[in-house]
């Protein structure tokens, strides 16, 4: 395999594991020329999974698209590349485990939102606002209001504590 960094074809496999319910083999490779690591994927060719889009059209399932979407949502957020990779891999595995031929783009979006919600709320809101295509502002507010309430409550509690401390200081 040609190294994506130095373009030399001289590598060794350092780790290989299956995912997608055994349908995918992921190989971690180390370039023996520059020492950097990269990953390759091996899939069964006779199993093209297709994504059904909202307008009914079908496109081939593309891991990169999910990765790009998650990366974009996590831009300038404290989410490591490793976490992003893990999110995408877990989604990929779940999809391959549950769907043979077709999966809706809507379902993929829901899986992404579920994962992002656990990791970073800002990333989640960003992704949700693009993916759900909120019909109007009230839909969006409905979605984010519980989070905003929670944050405000935390902030108020913190201020109260600080206020108490200040009063004690004056006394
Ligand atoms: Zn290299």
How confident is the model over 51-110, as pLDDT tens digits? 998 889 999 998 888 999 999 999 999 999 989 988 998 898 888 888 888 999 888 988
Task: State which residues have CB under 5 angstroms from ligand 1, the bound ion.
Answer: 3, 5-6, 31, 33-34
pLDDT at 10: 95
4 and 43 belong to one structural domain = yes
Same domain, residue pair 73 and 132 = yes
Residue 2 CA to ligand 1 centre (angstroms): 8
- In a shared domain, residues 79 and 148: yes
Spatial contact of 56 and 33, defined as CB atoms under 8 Å apart: no
- Total number of domains in the chain: 2
* All residues at 6 or more sequence positions from 21 whose CB lies less than 8 Å from its CB, including other chains: 93, 96, 97
Closest CA to 83 of 46, 118, 122, 31: 118
Task: Report how far ligand 1's centroid is from the alpha carbon of 25 (Å).
Answer: 21
Specify whether the CB–CB gap between 128 and 143 falls below 8 A.
yes
Predicted confidence (pLDDT) at residue 136 exceeds the cutoff of 60: no
Residues 127 and 108 in one domain: yes
Question: What residues make up the domain containing 62?
Answer: 48-156
Provide the pLDDT for residue 34: 96
Residues 130 and 83 reside in one and the same domain:
yes
Helix axes 81-98, 105-119, angle to 10 degrees: 140
| Mean pLDDT along residues 117-131 | 86
| Ligand 1 center from residue 6 Cα (angstroms) | 4
3-state class (DSSP) for residue 117: helix
Please report the pLDDT score of residue 57 as a whole number.
92
Residue 97: its pLDDT value, please?
A: 81
Distance of CA 111 to the CA centre of its chain: 9
How confident is the prediction for the chain on average, in pLDDT? 84
Report the percent of the chain where pLDDT is more than 90. Answer: 37
List Cα–Cα distances, 147 to 79, 87, 143, 150, 151, in angstroms. 19, 21, 8, 5, 6
Distance from the alpha carbon of residue 82 to the mean position of ligand 1, in angstroms: 21
């Amino acid at each position: 395999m040609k190294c994506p960094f130095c373009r030399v074809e001289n590598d060794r496999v350092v780790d290989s594991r299956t995912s997608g319910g055994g349908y995918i083999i992921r190989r971690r490779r180390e370039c023996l020329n520059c020492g950097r690591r990269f990953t390759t994927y091996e899939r069964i060719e006779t199993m093209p999974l297709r994504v059904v889009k909202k307008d009914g059209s079908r496109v081939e399932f593309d891991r990169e698209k999910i990765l790009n979407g998650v990366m974009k949502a996590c831009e300038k957020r404290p989410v490591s590349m490793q976490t992003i990779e893990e999110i995408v891999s877990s989604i990929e595995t779940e999809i391959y485990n549950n769907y043979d031929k077709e999966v809706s783009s809507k379902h993929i979006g829901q899986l992404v939102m579920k994962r992002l919600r656990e990791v970073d709320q800002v990333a989640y809101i960003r992704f949700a606002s693009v993916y759900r295509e909120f019909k109007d502002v009230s839909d969006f507010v409905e979605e984010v209001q519980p989070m905003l309430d929670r944050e405000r409550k935390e902030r108020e509690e913190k201020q109260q504590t600080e206020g108490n401390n200040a009063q004690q200081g004056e006394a």
